[in-house]
Amino acid sequence: MSMIQLSPWDLALASLLVLLLARMSWRLRLGVERRVLIAAARSAVQLTLVGLVLKVLFAQTSLPLIGLMALVMLSVAGFEVMQRQTRRFGGPWGYGIGSLSMFLSSFSVTLLALTLVIGVEPWYQPQYLIPLLGMLLGNTMSGIAIALDNLTRNAWEARGKIEARLLAGQNWEAAIEDIRREALRSGLIPIVNAMGTAGLVSLPGMMTGQILAGSPPMEAAKYQLLIMFLIAAGTGLGAMAAVWMGSRRLFDERQRLRLDRLRGATKN
Amino acid sequence: MAGLRLAGLGHRSLAPLDLGLEAGELVFLSGPSGSGKSLLLRAIADLDPHVGEAWLGDEARSSMAPPLWRRRVGLLPAESFWWGETVGEHLPSDRTNGTGAETPIADWLTALGFAPEVLDWSVKRLSTGERQRLALVRLLAQTPEALLLDEATANLDPANRDQVETLIERYRRERQVAVLWVSHDPEQRRRLGGRSYRLHEGRLESES
């Protein structure tokens, strides 16, 4: 099996479908035609650019350039985590907790996979590093965003209960124990569900891509399995780090609950 | 037993103040709503950032781990919160509290008109008044050496109010515990006696 190259014409044909969708939206007065077209144009531009950037990266295998790309990916993911918080930490912590836990989990798991599992030579070969890191960042990002959001929102609502436990002489970790556990659980549920239904409902995106590009299905399945395990580990580690740092930051050195460190609900 | 002393304690709506309570002394605190009475009690229990130091006997608060301080200087907030399912879950599992003598929880419950079975009740079943009275038992069960009471009898009918007052007075006399009591009820202050202070425009003024 070999890969069938897509010509610009093939893509133009597919884009006609999007135009048709926009036209239908206009006819049915759904009012989303503008947004459909803008989103389609954005994805075309962004993916073309990423394709070009990766082409340059793959041709050079230069560590500084790859590091720069990884940094850009991390900072965008960090921003996204911050944006998804109803009540986020004020100051640098709002950005820092999410980014640092993503950095710790995604980068270490990617490194582990590259050196010990896949055994790429050199370990930073971009054809492996960039897609792996992207998958991990994308998934840990959702897990961490959900877990952190859950932690801060529930702590905000349970202020009376947390302080009652502090007044009863419990230390801060005991006082926030329930909320912390719930936050961690909520962050892990998406990946656990994804593993549980993998292959039964739909083929995961990466496996689909490999099959379309001509890989034997068993090879694609093995890679997908590897990725899923990595994502599960990365999401778990990342959510734990974020929830730990976040809950620590909710209390000060005298073990007072410091909800004033959270910024109020601004968005949504 | 030990007295309670505040040294230069203040928060954002209260100028730093000094106040000393002897062991076993009862002091009332009143003032218009928003004058910072509850915030003062929260500051003593070290729940909010603030300035100043507090002493229990000759032990400084800053020299003590916060959980230990909060166990020994017990705050009863105006609204009681419950984190577990049943009432009993909220009481320390070690009924002797390390002192050797068992804390008379059953006695306290009886004094407030509850049967011992109340410990198995679900918190959700309790009325506001029941919660307030049981919160006092919960607080005493941690055998505090000083008491900070925020409107301890505000939502109670006269009969229950008398029971609560009697129990607090008994605990104060038996254990020589300093009690700082925020109360807006002048009758209560007259009934129980003791020094009385008023918080006014961020300052502490002596009454009577």
Can you tell me the ipTM of this complex?
A: 0.95
Would you list the DSSP string of chain A?
A: --PPPPPHHHHHHHHHHHHHHHHHHHHTT-S-HHHHHHHHHHHHHHHHHHHHHHHHHHHH--HHHHHHHHHHHHHHHHHHHHHT-SSPBSTHHHHHHHHHHHIIIIIHHHHHIIIIII--SSTT-HHHHHHHHHHHHHHHHHHHHHHHHHHHHHHHHTHHHHHHHHHTT--HHHHHHHHHHHHHHHHHHHHHHHHHHTTTSS--HHHHHHHHTT--HHHHHHHHHHHHHHHHHHHHHHHHHHHHHHHHHTB-TT--B-GGGBPP----
Amino acid A205: pLDDT: 82
Give the homologous superfamily in CATH for domain B4-207.
Answer: P-loop containing nucleotide triphosphate hydrolases (3.40.50.300)
Q: Which has more confidence, B55 or B207?
A: B55
8 Å CB contact between B45 and B35: no
Domain segments of chain A: what residues?
A: 1-60, 63-261
Amino acid A204: pLDDT: 82
Domain segments of chain B: what residues?
A: 4-207
User: How many interface pairs between A and B have CB atoms less than 8 angstroms apart?
Assistant: 51
Residues of B in contact with A170 (CB under 8 A): 67
8 Å CB contact between A224 and A47: no
- By CB atoms closer than 10 A (0-12, 13-18, 19+), residue B122 is exposed
**Which of A1-10, A165-174, A192-201, A220-229 has the lowest average pLDDT?**
A1-10
Q: Residue A203 pLDDT more than 80? A: no
Q: Give the residue-averaged pLDDT of A25-38.
A: 92
Distance of alpha carbon A243 from alpha carbon A151, whole angstroms: 7
A160/B81 Cβ within 8 A:
yes
User: For chain A, what is the largest distance between any 2 Cα atoms, rounded to a whole number of angstroms?
Assistant: 71
Amino acid A60: pLDDT: 86
Q: Give the residue-averaged pLDDT of A193-207.
A: 83
Residues of B in contact with A182 (CB under 8 A): none
Name the pairing type of β-strands B26-30 and B195-200: parallel
pLDDT, chain B, mean: 92
Write the residue in A161, A166, A171 that is nearest to B47 by C-beta: A166
Q: Give the residue-averaged pLDDT of B143-154.
A: 95
B67/A258 Cβ within 8 A:
no
Q: Give the residue-averaged pLDDT of A110-126.
A: 92
Q: Give the residue-averaged pLDDT of A78-88.
A: 92
pLDDT, chain A, mean: 92
State the pLDDT confidence band at B191, using cuts at 50, 70 and 90: very high
Residues of A in contact with B81 (CB under 8 A): 160-161, 163-164
- By CB atoms closer than 10 A (0-12, 13-18, 19+), residue A71 is exposed
Amino acid B100: pLDDT: 56
State the pLDDT confidence band at B96, using cuts at 50, 70 and 90: low
Residue B80, chain A, CB below 8 Å: the answer is yes
**Which of A60-64, A251-255, B100-104, B166-170 has the lowest average pLDDT?**
B100-104
Q: Give the residue-averaged pLDDT of A222-228.
A: 91
Distance of alpha carbon B44 from alpha carbon B5, whole angstroms: 10
Residue B8 region by backbone torsions, left for phi larger than 0, else alpha for psi between -120 and 50, else beta: left
Q: Give the residue-averaged pLDDT of B181-185.
A: 93
Q: Which residues contact A144 (CB under 8 A, 6 or more apart)?
A: A81, A98, A101, A102, A187, A235, A238, A239, A242
Alpha-carbon A137 to chain mean position: 5
pLDDT digits (tens, 9 = 90+) for A151-173: 999 999 999 999 999 999 999 99
Amino acid A2: pLDDT: 63
Q: Kindly list the distances between the CA atom of residue A77 and the CA atoms of A102, A122, A264, in Å, as whole numbers in the listed order.
A: 8, 26, 22
Q: Residue B194 pLDDT more than 50? A: yes
Cis link prior to A122 (omega < 30° from 0)? yes
Q: Residue B94 pLDDT more than 70? A: no
Q: Give the residue-averaged pLDDT of B190-200.
A: 92
Instruction: Give φ, ψ of B199 to 5 degrees.
Output: -90, 120
State the pLDDT confidence band at A199, using cuts at 50, 70 and 90: confident
B67/A166 Cβ within 8 A:
yes
- By CB atoms closer than 10 A (0-12, 13-18, 19+), residue A16 is exposed
B142/A161 Cβ within 8 A:
no
Amino acid A268: pLDDT: 40
Q: Measured between CA atoms, how close is B81 to chain A, in angstroms?
A: 5
Question: Closest Cα to residue B71, out of B148, B123, B169?
Answer: B148
Share of chain B above pLDDT 70, in %: 95
Q: Give the residue-averaged pLDDT of A218-235.
A: 92
